Amino acid sequence: MQVNPICEICEHYMRGKCGKCGCTVINKCPLGKWGNRFEAVGFMQSCRSLLPLFKEAADVYNVAIDSKDYREYNKFYRASKNIITWGVKFKPEYYNGDKNVMFIENGLLRQASGIYMDNMGWFSNSSIVQERKWMNPATGQDRKRLDAIIKSLGGSGSNPDGPIMLALQNERDAPVRFHFKHKVNETPMLSLIQHATVFKDREVIVRPHPLNKAGWLQIKDRAEKMFGSKWRVDESPDVYKTLRSCSGLITVNSTLATECVALGIKVAALGTGTFEGSGTVLECNEDPTTLAWWDAYKPNPDAAINYCGAVLRQQLPYQTNLQTILTSEIFTDWINKCK
């Protein structure tokens, strides 16, 4: 696990130099001494609330959990057999081999509320795709959890006559670097915008990533040269409110894609994701000209519920308990392979 650097004086979590008081920063491990039985690598401050529970759950099976600094990720990953990798994504082929890996990242539904777990990989390498888990009907508990998430996001629905939202992502993130093959411009997001110019005569809302404003400013002038006359940039605080006024979402593979599936909003994806093959988005990864089918494409609400159910069965809230982890299919599969 990578524990975010913490300022010894103000206890401000951050990445890089401390922006609060200019103090020296260090890495602290909430689990104490490092060991060599198990390596957990990651990046989220929020994981601190879950790692003690994972440690307690592993103790039930007599498996010891220790953590390693992400700066030596390659070294520890290559030397280890049983691994939890928390949010660190390289090219898919990097994770090939006979290792026992549990992949953890931000939740795919209501991202800030918890984590998504998988025992096969990220995106199209995930067990949801590889084992076609969206073929299993959503359970009553899945539907109850989904209804709560939809409510927390402000409700479902869209405006069929509204604009199309074009959701940009962080240029440096693995999802667009490794899971978006048709880059036709100098950067991934300029490529996404260029593909979307098939809608140059339509009303389009371009949504920069809220945590990558500097990246947006770097490409803004070049991007706006490709805009249609009815295109505009939206940086309003509530993306879900804006989405409900739109006819749909076009993105590479933003987390918004899965959330829009849950909200009943049409989605086109130019990259791969856990939604691949589920029939819940207009998949344009192999051929971006598939965007031409946007108007004819109609989402399947039953497929959407089953896909979201599959995601939720592999998603844990930050506020969870030991029993929930012990009964998690992904955790028990991983822990049994540790023996």
Strand partners, 207: 167
Strand partners, 122: none
- Residue 102's pLDDT band, with cuts at 50, 70 and 90, is very high
Q: Which of 269, 233, 234, 228 is closest to 248 using CA atoms?
A: 269
- pLDDT tens for each residue of 235-278: 999 999 999 999 999 999 999 999 999 999 999 999 999 999 99
User: Which residue ranges make up each domain of the chain?
Assistant: 6-138+315-337, 146-312
Distance CA(126)–CA(258), nearest Å, equals: 14
Of residues 43 and 108, more confidence is placed in: 108
Orientation of helix 255-263 relative to helix 140-152, angle to 10°: 110
17 class by beta-carbon count within 10 Å (0-12 exposed, 13-18 middle, 19+ buried): exposed
User: Got the DSSP string for 3-72?
Assistant: PPPEETTT--B-SSS-SSS---EE---TT-S--SS-EEE---GGGGGTHHHHHHHHHHTT---EE--GGG
Distance CA(237)–CA(227), nearest Å, equals: 22
Residue 67 corresponds to which amino acid?
A: S
Of residues 309 and 47, more confidence is placed in: 309
When pLDDT is averaged across residues 156-181 and rounded to a whole number, the result is: 94
Average pLDDT, the chain: 85
Q: Which of 233, 276, 232 is closest to 253 using CA atoms?
A: 276
CA distances from 271 to 63, 199, 235, 262 (A): 37, 18, 23, 19
When pLDDT is averaged across residues 113-118 and rounded to a whole number, the result is: 91
Q: Which of 167, 111, 168, 172 is closest to 315 using CA atoms?
A: 111
77: part of which helix (H) or strand (E)?
helix 73-79
Of residues 113 and 131, more confidence is placed in: 131
- pLDDT tens for each residue of 189-198: 999 999 999 9
The CATH classification number of 146-312 equals 3.40.50.2000
